Chain A
């Protein structure tokens, strides 16, 4: 089972939302909202391919209580982007609520109630901005109406602000809470009668709004995946198959059971050579009264593994084979004109091969989940999951029970980056709790996390580019090869999907007359998944460093060169040239075309803000790259230098971003700051390697992520003011940073970078 991912398939865009008054039964179902007050539900409706309404499910709730508190359900998972704050904030702003009186509650995973809750693919803002506004506008309309009736005044003179309805000319005002009874008598206004606030009227949208959970976090009260205890619970630490597809021949649990606190050892069956995206690996779970006993018990297990087909998998060998394959003709994924003819026409040619390694997500919170299987055959789960519905469905499937008997509560996530959309760890907890009929918390260690991740694939690429006699880029032939995400569920899937190809490879936007894009075969020998910006990481690395190299050869400023290559202001759809589909991150290309003018605007902005020309004239070493991903346009300039002892430092980073209407500017900046640091790790220090089918990095000493001294010293994010539809910012900061850093390092060291991570000692 593969979840609907924006890069696998078209997402059903929400084209309508309907606000309604829930009946008493439904009111009671949302038990956390009991306590009286006025309740509104919102349906987010998706249109099918023929324009018909496909789903009809209440997705969000809003309650106004007589004590003036406004409660908003957050149905997206919070993993550090601030979405749990930002979406409710949109509703509250439209409503005219007093933000200090707003309570946010986290929704359980429930497709029937909340629609799609998969927090992935940078699309929460994109999909839910408008529906949240409409929900707020509906409640605001009703509040104005209720107040006007109470005062016997004209509704047009009433507005809402700071949790009050205000009648400007008479100076009357009344708090929301005093209108609860009247509100309950009103019916929902027609959609046509709603007026949305103008952007300039907002007091929260477009501003810096702190995250809702800040004090809980700074006081150590915030609750993450491993922070809840249940009476009678057992802690499980699991020894998993060291190689994907390995199975247990036999085992001896005696020594483990001698560890004080260990109660039992339970086998979990794996899914063999097709590990799947939502299934546990084969393993032995040690259950104990506390975490330490479970860890010690695991060390004492004796297991005879049948390592299966992947026992001799060496990633270095596969890398050489992948590189060799790029010399062959591959599967055609996009074609325009004829690169063959252009290559035959003579002129200067460039040809480079690029490599990037496997990466692990390495969220500082390792996976953990608590499951409580109950006597009545239902199960309740608490987990840091990006995708509570998929977790729920996967648990129901693994336990062979009806999905209605599974409840998944979403805790805060200690980082996600794509790892925690896979529910394997949630299923482990559920299986074990059912087996012992007690609550079980599964705790992964760092070693577990690095050894059994769903990795970002290693990759090889070859790009051949041809200039004609006048120096114009006339041919672009890009070969890409990497084990695909689909290979995790089906080992016969050897090519990247159209979705993965559309992440920065087939959507090459430059005005080049002859383009040919090919993919090659690579088998998945491990669990491959998606990591913050997915294949954009390696594609942007190759493309943006190649363009820098060509610009230099042509004695052109790289910023000017990329601007000129983008050509006329155009809206691209790539339609005729794609040899397959182009999912466009799940959105219709007519709605969200590839707009070269928007890209040029962010490039000009970043060059101006970074003082690109002056800085270069002053002898600073700067690198530039621009890359659109997840429908957000980003340009980046990175400065590098060496300190007195020859260590690489990154004094300054500038980003310009066009993400449509900026919703929470502070959280946009924090995502770019974080994205730059995440990308610094990918570029400089992180790599997962397989020898004999096993990951050889064990902990943060082997799998290195940057520490404060290596982090860029200053990161500036320049946000384009826009009235375009808002798009996400979780992933887009990552792809352009890496090539911008490589291009800067080239200026510093005079050596081009073709392999990630950048070799130790290079810097």
Chain B
């Protein structure tokens, strides 16, 4: 067990954890931020996606000891008021079905738009390929990203 100081959603947090504990479980179990989800634990589904210094990262596969002083942002920190352009577009298109994958989808999409504000459809598909949705919301996710990108 070691002590780590982490910047999460703009706040410095101190946690005691084994060095190999994935950031996902630090976020969920130690910091009680439940918006980031567990789906596979192997970087295969994207449900656990957060931003690490703005880069979409699978938190299930990043040990806490490797985070360092990089800034972690979770879905709770995407927008203080919950009205990030993507969150608004998600509402307009009523994207979610069960909703479980959607935190990861939104975080991944937000990182995409930060890097490429006007992605083409095929760029969206390629960038979002790591985020599974079993309910089948892919079409609406794509439409919502296009809507958000056209408004920026």
List A residues at the B interface (Cβ < 8 Å). 78-82, 208, 210-211, 213-224, 226-227, 229, 235, 260-261, 290-293, 295-296, 362-366, 412-417, 443, 445-446, 666, 670, 673-678, 699-701, 705, 707-709, 711-715
Contact = CB atoms under 8 A, between A and B. Distances in A.
Given A215-B82, A707-B129, A674 B96 contact: no
Nearest to B81: A219
A417 B18 CA distance: 36
Interface string B80-116: 0010000100110011111111110010000000000
A78 B98 CA distance: 7
Contacts of A666: 94
Interface in B70-85: 74-76, 78, 82
A229 to B, nearest CB: 6
A364 B94 contact: no
Given A218-B90, A229-B32, A292-B29, A413 B136 contact: no
Contacts of B33: 220
Contacts of B36: 220
Nearest to A226: B38
A41 B97 CA distance: 29
Nearest to A680: B136
Interface string B117-150: 0000010111011111111111111100000000
A708 B100 contact: no
Nearest to A261: B18
Interface in B32-57: 32-42, 44-45, 47
Contacts of B87: 218-219
A82 B98 CA distance: 8
A711 B39 contact: no
A216 B100 CA distance: 11
B99 A414 contact: yes
8 contacts: A210-B91, A292-B29, A366-B38, A413-B98, A443-B38, A446-B41, A673-B139, A709-B126
A292 B98 contact: no
Given A224-B100, A414-B100, A670-B97, A705 B134 contact: yes
B99 A219 contact: no
B49 to A, nearest CB: 11
Contacts of A678: 134-136
B25 A214 contact: no
B84 to A, nearest CB: 9
A414 B137 contact: no
B18 A220 contact: no
A705 B78 CA distance: 28
B34 A446 contact: no
Interface residues of B, number: 62
Given A670-B140, A701-B42, A714-B139, A290 B98 contact: no
A670 B102 contact: no
Contacts of A675: 136
A43 to B, nearest CB: 30
Contact of B44 (A214, A365, A701, A714): A701
A708 B129 contact: yes
Nearest to B39: A364
Interface of B: 1, 17-18, 20-22, 25, 28-30, 32-42, 44-45, 47, 74-76, 78, 82, 87, 90-91, 94-103, 106, 122, 124-126, 128-142
A697 B80 CA distance: 41
Given A208-B94, A223-B34, A715-B139, 16 more contacts: A80-B99, A81-B97, A210-B94, A213-B96, A215-B82, A217-B96, A220-B103, A221-B35, A260-B1, A363-B98, A364-B101, A364-B133, A412-B98, A446-B40, A670-B94, A711-B138
A221 B47 CA distance: 15
A708 B125 contact: yes
B64 to A, nearest CB: 9
Contact of B82 (A213, A218, A222, A709): A218
B44 A699 contact: yes
B97 A80 contact: yes
A80 B131 CA distance: 17
Contact of B135 (A80, A295, A366, A707): A80
B138 A677 contact: yes
B26 to A, nearest CB: 9
Q: Name the residue in B34, B91, B142 with the highest tally of chain A Cβ atoms < 10 Å from its Cβ.
A: B34
A227 B134 CA distance: 20
Contact of A366 (B20, B39, B42, B138): B39
Contact of A700 (B45, B124, B128, B139): B45
Contact of B136 (A211, A216, A673): A673
B95 to A, nearest CB: 8
A511 B31 CA distance: 64
A674 B97 contact: yes
Q: Which 7 A-B pairs have the closest CB atoms?
A: A220-B35, A414-B100, A677-B136, A674-B136, A80-B98, A220-B75, A80-B97
Contacts of A705: 132, 134
B125 A415 contact: no
A79 B75 contact: no
Contacts of A711: 136, 138-139
Contacts of B90: 214, 218
Contact of B96 (A214, A365, A677, A714): A214
B94 A218 contact: no
Nearest to B107: A220
B53 to A, nearest CB: 20
Q: Name the residue in A295, A676, A678, A709 with the highest tally of chain B Cβ atoms < 10 Å from its Cβ.
A: A709
Given A224-B37, A412-B99, A708 B142 contact: yes
A42 to B, nearest CB: 27
B18 A292 contact: yes
Contacts of B125: 708-709
A213 B25 CA distance: 25
B103 A364 contact: no
A364 B47 CA distance: 8
Contacts of B45: 364, 446, 700
Nearest to A221: B35
A290 B76 CA distance: 21
Given A224-B37, A364-B132, A366-B38, A235 B29 contact: yes
Q: Name the residue in A216, A415, A443 with the highest tally of chain B Cβ atoms < 10 Å from its Cβ.
A: A415
Contacts of A707: 128-132
Contacts of B82: 215, 218-219
Nearest to A220: B35
A546 B23 CA distance: 51
Nearest to A79: B98
Q: Name the residue in B45, B74, B100, B129 with the highest tally of chain A Cβ atoms < 10 Å from its Cβ.
A: B100
Contacts of B96: 80, 211, 213-214, 217-218
Contacts of A676: 136
